[in-house]
Chain A
C-alpha cells in the first residue's frame, strides 16, 4: 500500500514532497479548518475562562491582603487596649498600695503614741517611787544619825551630854 502511494507521489513530486502542488489544496483546506476550530475553542471557551481564573485570583489576593491589613489593624487596636488596661490596673494597684500604706502608718502612729503615753506614765510613777524612797532614806539617815549621836554621847560621856545639844549639833551637821 505504502509503496503504491509512494509511486503516485513520486511521479508528482520528485525530491521534495513540499513542492508537490497537488497536495496544496488539501493542506490549505485542513489548515483553515484547524485554525478556525482552534480559534473558536480559544475565543469561546479557553481564553475567557483563563482570564476569569486570573482575574478571580487577583481579586482574591487583593481581598485577602485587605483582610490581612484589617486584621493587623485590629491586632494593633487590641494591643493598645491591652496596654491601656494594664496601665490602669497598675495605677489602681499603686493607689491601693498607697492607701494600705497610709492606713498602716496611721495605725502604727496611734500605737506608738499610746505606747509613748504609757511609757511616760510608767516613768512618772517610777520617778515618784524613787523620790519617795529617797525621802524615806534621808529621814531614816537623820534618825539613825540622831540616835547614833545620842547613843554615842551617852556612852562616851554619860551624864554630861545634853541630849538637846547633841541633837542640835547633829541637825546642824546634817544640814551642812
Chain B
C-alpha cells in the first residue's frame, strides 16, 4: 500500500524496494506495541491457515489411497521425518514435531511472501533470529542435559594430533557461536534480497523502453525465488537436524 502511494507521489522512476518490509498495524495508525495486530500477525496467521488446510483438512478423510492434497501432506511428513531420522539418528525422531513446526512455518511464510502485495515474515531478522536462537539454545541445553560436561568434547577434536587440538577447539568454539548468526542471516538475507531485487525490477518496469526486459527479469527472479523459498526452508531445517545431531551425539 505504502509503495503504491510513493510511486504516485513522486512519479517517474522511483525505487522503494524496502517498503514492502515495513511492519505496520492492520487497524489504525498507532505505534507498534508488542501486542498490536500488524501485517506480521496477518501473514503468520495465514501460514497457520495453510498448515491447517494442508495437514489437517487434507488428511481428514484418512484415505488409504490418498488424494492429491493428502499425498502432499504425506510427502512433507515423510520428507522431514526421513531427514530427521537420517541426520539426527533414531533418537532424534522424538524431536520431529519441533523440526516439522520450524520447516512448515518457514516454507509457508516464504511461499506466502511470494504472493503479490504480500509481507514476508521470514525476511525479518527479528523473526529468523528468534528461530535460530531457539534452535541454538535448545540444542545447547539439550547437549548439556544429555551429556553433562562431556558435551564439551564436541570442541575437542580427538581425531586431530594433540598439539593442534587447542587451536581447533578455539575454532570450533567460534564456529559454534557463529551458527545462530549464519543460520538466521542466511534465511532473512535470502528472502529480503530476492524480494528487494524483484521490487527494483518492478521500478524499472515503469519505463516503457525497458519494461519488457524488466518484466522478463521479474519473471525469472520470481522463478528463482520459488526455488530459493523452498531451498532456504530446507537448508534451515537440515542445519537444525545437524545441530541436533551434535547435541545427541557430540563425540563425532
B1 to chain A, nearest CB (A): 4
Chain A 1-42 residues near chain B, CB threshold 8 A = 1-6, 8-9, 15-20, 22-35, 37-39, 41-42
The 4 closest A-B pairs by CB, nearest first: A25-B34, A46-B55, A23-B23, A34-B44
How many angstroms from the CA of A9 to the CA of B55 in the assembled complex? 37
Find out whether the CB atom of A47 lies under 8 angstroms from the CB atom of B100. yes
* Any A CB within 8 A of the CB of B52: yes
**What residue of chain B has the Cβ atom nearest to residue A5's Cβ?**
B24
* Any B CB within 8 A of the CB of A116: no
Find out whether the CB atom of A26 lies under 8 angstroms from the CB atom of B101. no
By a CB distance below 8 angstroms, the chain B residues around A45 are 55-56
One digit per residue, 1 when the CB lies within 8 angstroms of any chain A CB and 0 when it does not, for chain B 13-35 equals 00000110111110001011111
* Any B CB within 8 A of the CB of A50: yes
* Any A CB within 8 A of the CB of B83: no
**What residue of chain B has the Cβ atom nearest to residue A50's Cβ?**
B77
By a CB distance below 8 angstroms, the chain A residues around B31 are 8, 22
A2 to chain B, nearest CB (A): 4
List 10 additional contacts besides A18-B188, A26-B34, A27-B124; criterion CB under 8 Å.
A6-B22, A9-B22, A16-B18, A23-B38, A30-B38, A41-B56, A47-B97, A53-B63, A53-B74, A54-B77
Mark B residues whose CB is within 8 Å of A.
Answer: 1-2, 4-6, 9, 18-19, 21-25, 29, 31-36, 38, 40-41, 44-45, 47-48, 51-52, 55-56, 59, 62-64, 66, 70, 73-74, 77-78, 96-98, 100-102, 104-105, 121, 123-127, 130-131, 188, 192
Chain A 102-127 residues near chain B, CB threshold 8 A = none
Find out whether the CB atom of A35 lies under 8 angstroms from the CB atom of B105. yes
What number of A residues sit within 8 Å (CB to CB) of B?
A: 46
By a CB distance below 8 angstroms, the chain B residues around A17 are 18-19, 21-23, 124
Known contacts: A2-B5, A26-B33, A29-B34. The answer to whether A49 contacts B62 by CB under 8 A is yes
* Any B CB within 8 A of the CB of A136: no
B193 to chain A, nearest CB (A): 11
Chain A 40-63 residues near chain B, CB threshold 8 A = 41-43, 45-47, 49-54, 56-57, 60
By a CB distance below 8 angstroms, the chain B residues around A25 are 33-34
Find out whether the CB atom of B23 lies under 8 angstroms from the CB atom of A26. yes
Find out whether the CB atom of A49 lies under 8 angstroms from the CB atom of B59. yes
Q: What are 27 residue pairs bridging A and B, where the CB atoms are less than 8 Å apart in the complex?
A: A2-B1, A2-B2, A5-B2, A6-B6, A6-B19, A8-B31, A20-B22, A25-B33, A25-B34, A27-B130, A28-B126, A28-B130, A30-B40, A30-B44, A31-B44, A31-B127, A31-B130, A31-B131, A38-B48, A42-B51, A42-B97, A46-B51, A46-B55, A46-B59, A49-B59, A50-B59, A53-B59
